[in-house]
A and B are shown apart, each in its own frame.
Chain A
Amino acid sequence: MKNTKRLNWFLIGSMVIFPLMAYFHLSIGEIQINFSDLKNSIFSYDAQNTAQLLAHEFRFPRLIMACVAGAGLSLAGMLMQTLFNNPLAGPYVLGVNSGASLMVAISLLTGIQFFGTNLGLISAALIGAFAAGMLMMSVTSFLKSQVSLLLVGLMFGSFTSAIVSFLEVSSKAEQLKSFTLWSMGSLQNVLLEQIPLILFFFLIGIVLSALIVKPLNLLVIGENAASLLGIKIQQTRIVILVITALLTGLITAFCGPIAFVGLAVPNITRILLKTQNHSQLILGNLIIGSTFLVACDTFIQYLESSVQLPINVLTSLIGAPFVIIVLIRRTK
């Protein structure tokens, strides 16, 4: 009862905060766009009008990408935290991002023709994220401590960085440039016509997550107990891995690496909702994740005239201290 009340307040709050944040995100920046141009850019779009062009082709795709990236990474992070029963798990910490980045590096730095396309880049990121997830999952069976798992994730990140550095040294100038630009991370490069494809994969991730709510709820009490209650652990693990790889790979391919969102937001959601019910947690992560990244990006746009801040830098500035706080709290 108390939880339902909390969830209701949370939803009411989100219904106020998110639209406000989205409006700020759309309207502020070096060039301010008024409400009328924003509205017309959707309902009676005129490409000759610069304000409408900016809103239609730049601001809306950027807003949608910020929502998808924030929500997707948070959802992926929540799933990994439940799977590994570890609040410090997340696609970035456990090397899923690193796997995606490695494959993108291979695709951009080796000059293989197929990878020079959008589809090639997405495929590379998905393959990399999935392979890294598989690797981490197989490693867990050999490790007893959760800290060891995080260390393996860290080592895997260093290992992939070393391969990327090696590829960078032996690549051509143009290839190196393309990869460097991608690795800076950006929410701005996505095109309006790519949005349907992104939303399609994003929705698959959400639907699959919704389908495994029951196993997720039971995984909280431990794999053995969940197994005794009839949960097919191996099957659940694979589905979680597929969702995580899909979401992380998709977002990494389009935005580059974005750190710590997948780690920090699921923890914030748990603190706010005080529940282990995954149907509520999924909803909470989607809302808080998207609001969080939209807020970060709005802040960046607001500061644009005085400071140039890449999105990955801001999320790391917020996320890294958060990880330290979580670690200290757990040690106590």
Chain B
Amino acid sequence: MAVLSSTHIGMLNELNAINTIAAISNVKYVYQREVKSGIKSGQIISLGDEGQISIDKLLQSKTKVMIYSAFSGEFSQQKKLDKLGIISIPNYDWRETTPLGKADWLLLFGYLTDKQKQAKERIARLNTLYSLGIIEGKKIKNNEIFLLGNQMGDYWYAPAGESYQAILLKDAGINYLYSNTKGTGSLALPMEQVIKDAEKATIWLNPGFKSKKEILLSNPKATFLTVFQKGKIYCYSANMNNFWENSTIQPHWFLHDLHEIKANTATNENLYFYKSVE
């Protein structure tokens, strides 16, 4: 099959079904070593970005089924695929608003690889691990305020209070600055408001950059945030491919990272996705 999102690779890896992958979108976004070496040896074909995949290469890969993310509705080359007899299936895991809801999409890959039993067992196991993670989080008595997001253009974008990210933070027992806001998408806030609201924030997550220098280059006013001056900053940008491949299917890893950060015991070695931004 062809999978056009890094998340799909993570899901197939969870089912030990990497060998079913015949094609992927762009090699630039791959973390899995097995997939990388498959591309090197020619067993797996790189098709290009999701919106502009090469149909010739898709045919060359002898793909029967193609999974895509459908961010913009129907696949752009749907009619061509229909004529070629290639089945295309949209994967809407990104529309889910809860971490476990996203992980449930493993079942789709279970059916496609004839490993539905294994998929159901994995999902049950993930539910248990995640629930245990929530309990663990409650034991950490630390109420530091977390700020999320960064400025893009004229506004600061942060997860709204009912979004997937905010739910994950809530499950980790984290005191998120905008947890009481409405909406499942993003909040767009003036930077001035964030400066005022975040006066007491001590931890900043997901600025989208690996270093403070990079943050300042894109958002020079970040220097006025108390958390930038005195707090701690963490981001998963250090290895984005790892994050996109594994964060959906291993939500308990995500919880683990958040717990370590919350408990002030985080080091770059004991975190799965996050790294300290210096």
Chain A interface (Cβ < 8 Å from any Cβ of B): 29-31, 50, 53-54, 57-59, 116, 169, 173-174, 177-178, 181-182, 184-191, 300-301, 304, 308, 310-311
Contacts and interface: CB of A to CB of B under 8 A. Distances in A.
Contact of A178 (B154, B188, B217, B221): B217
B240 A53 contact: no
B221 A31 contact: no
A30 B193 contact: yes
Contacts of A191: 220-221
Interface in B196-224: 196, 199, 208-210, 214, 217-221, 224
Given A173-B240, A178-B217, A186 B153 contact: yes
A174 B190 contact: no
A85 B105 CA distance: 63
Given A30-B192, A53-B195, 20 more contacts: A29-B190, A30-B189, A30-B193, A31-B192, A50-B195, A50-B196, A54-B195, A57-B221, A57-B224, A58-B191, A58-B192, A174-B210, A181-B219, A182-B218, A184-B153, A185-B153, A187-B154, A188-B221, A191-B221, A308-B155
Contact residues of A: prevailing secondary structure: helix
Nearest to B188: A308
Contacts of A189: 219-221
Contacts of A59: 192
9 contacts: A50-B199, A173-B240, A174-B209, A178-B214, A181-B152, A188-B191, A304-B190, A308-B154, A311-B154
A300 B192 CA distance: 14
A163 B15 CA distance: 42
Contacts of B218: 177-178, 181-182
B217 A116 contact: yes
B98 interface: no
Contacts of A188: 154, 191, 221
Given A188-B221, A304-B190, A54 B208 contact: no
B237 interface: yes
A184 B154 contact: yes
Interface in B64-100: none
A303 to B, nearest CB: 11
Nearest to A305: B190
Nearest to B152: A181
A11 to B, nearest CB: 32
B192 A177 contact: no
B196 A181 contact: no
B12 to A, nearest CB: 23
